[in-house]
Chain A
């Protein structure tokens, strides 16, 4: 298969995110929830335009790619995710970048994932 020349490839944005969750969430569960949220909010047509894809996900942080012109719709989809398999979650977008490397380096490396339980201990 021929790879498209760079100018003809679709332009993407990469969203670095953290998942603030009650417990551990697996990659497959998150993918299923993202597609269900996207299908529910945007429908098949809107989802195809947004082209949301879970690029990587490990230890409650990861990168989601989407179409360059639909970043705000993607963010809205991600904001409507409220629970995965009965565990409450918030998907918090840390930053948007034009490359995977940029998103990972700038927003994910060395970033601590927010853990509500630890935080409340500190306060006690």
Chain B
């Protein structure tokens, strides 16, 4: 089997995070990632452009934290053309709902782990229909201790059962805010196994789903639209 290509689609850099992308890339490379998406908040700085250096992909992204649901659609429309990965930082019920109903959103993160705002069957179904990935932010499991981590783990377990039932796409991310928040893909898999995620599922969330998101947003050069293909007339693609 070919080596899977791992991606972390939710990494923050300076000034929002503590380290610049130049500092973080060597470590991500060392950990065996094929690429990271830099998802800084829309108000902190202009999103950078996607680039590939020495086989490592730096993917442009943005993290939107809209004040209310109606602003979300405007923001998504504005950034969709500029970046490859659109992450919405959820929180309130209405923003979560609007995000999973907008198929231009790639990832919904921080959708709340408290009882009132967490993932529910309605959101899960909608996310599945619109192909919006749910992100499991393992940052909490690394840094929280005691009761709050217990709560985070049990919420993730509950979310995972909904993800399985409705076949919701999901990604695993370290949600790194500094160099020392990054974790290697296998360490993230181990953390995800704490709340019952299998190795295959974790692999899916670290490799398959991110690649699908990227393929959708960085189409090949001769792409027109879904189901349409440019046929080279010299090859006699269609007979007259």
The interface of chain A, by Cβ under 8 A from chain B, is 20, 22, 40-41, 72-73, 75-76, 78-80, 82-83, 88-90, 92-93, 114, 116, 119-120, 122-124
Contacts and interface: CB of A to CB of B under 8 A. Distances in A.
A79 B23 contact: no
B115 interface: no
Contact of A114 (B27, B142, B145): B27
5 contacts: A75-B186, A75-B187, A116-B27, A119-B26, A124-B22
Given A40-B146, A79-B183, A72 B26 contact: no
Nearest to B183: A79
A39 B15 CA distance: 35
Contacts of B183: 79, 90
Contact of B188 (A79, A90, A124): A79
A124 B26 CA distance: 13
A98 to B, nearest CB: 17
B75 interface: no
B26 A123 contact: yes
B30 interface: yes
Interface in B157-198: 178-184, 186-191, 193-194
Contacts of A120: 22-23, 26
The 9 closest A-B pairs by CB, nearest first: A75-B190, A79-B187, A88-B180, A119-B26, A76-B190, A123-B22, A120-B23, A72-B190, A72-B193
Given A72-B193, A92-B31, 10 more contacts: A40-B149, A73-B190, A73-B194, A79-B183, A79-B187, A88-B180, A90-B182, A114-B26, A120-B23, A123-B23
Contacts of A82: 142-143, 180-181
For chain B, the bracket of interface size reads 20 to 34
Contact of A76 (B182, B184, B193): B193
Nearest to A95: B186
A114 B28 CA distance: 11
B141 interface: yes
Interface of B: 22-23, 26-27, 30-31, 141-143, 145-146, 149, 178-184, 186-191, 193-194
Interface of B is mostly: helix
A53 to B, nearest CB: 18
Contact of B194 (A76, A83, A124): A76
B27 A80 contact: no
A41 B190 CA distance: 13
Nearest to B32: A92
Contact of A40 (B31, B145, B186): B145
Contacts of A124: 22
A41 B191 CA distance: 11
Contacts of A41: 149, 194
Nearest to B178: A88
Contacts of A122: 26
Given A40-B145, A114-B27, A89 B191 contact: no
B186 A93 contact: yes
Contacts of B187: 75-76, 78-79, 92-93
Contacts of A90: 180, 182-183
A119 B190 contact: no
B117 to A, nearest CB: 25
Nearest to A114: B30
A9 to B, nearest CB: 25
A21 to B, nearest CB: 9
